[in-house]
Amino acid sequence: MDPHSILLTFLCLMAAKFTYQVANALFYCHLNKVMHRDIKPENLLLDVFGNIKLADFGWSVHTPSDKRKTMCGTLDYFPPEMIEGRQYNNYVDIWCLGVLCYEFLVGKPPFESADTNTTYTRIKTVDVHYPSCVPSGAKDLISKLLVYAHNKRISLPEVMKHPWISSLKDKARYCVETKQVITL
Residue 84, annotated as binding a ligand: no
Task: Report yes or no: 96 and 73 within 8 Å, Cβ to Cβ.
Answer: yes
For 61, half-sphere exposure in the C-beta direction (CA atoms, 13 angstrom radius) is: 18
Residue 56, annotated as binding a ligand: yes
Query: Which distant-in-sequence residues (6+ apart) come within 8 Å of 155 by Cβ?
Result: 94
Q: How far is CA 29 from the centre of its chain?
A: 15
**Residues with a known catalytic role:** 38
Instruction: Compute the distance between CA of residue 52 and CA of residue 61 in angstroms, rounded to an integer.
Output: 21
Q: Enter the DSSP assignment of 151.
A: G
Residue 81, annotated as binding a ligand: no
Instruction: Compute the distance between CA of residue 8 and CA of residue 26 in angstroms, rounded to an integer.
Output: 26
Query: Which distant-in-sequence residues (6+ apart) come within 8 Å of 98 by Cβ?
Result: 141, 142, 144, 145, 146, 153
Known binding residues are 42-43, 56
Known binding residues for ATP are 42-43, 56
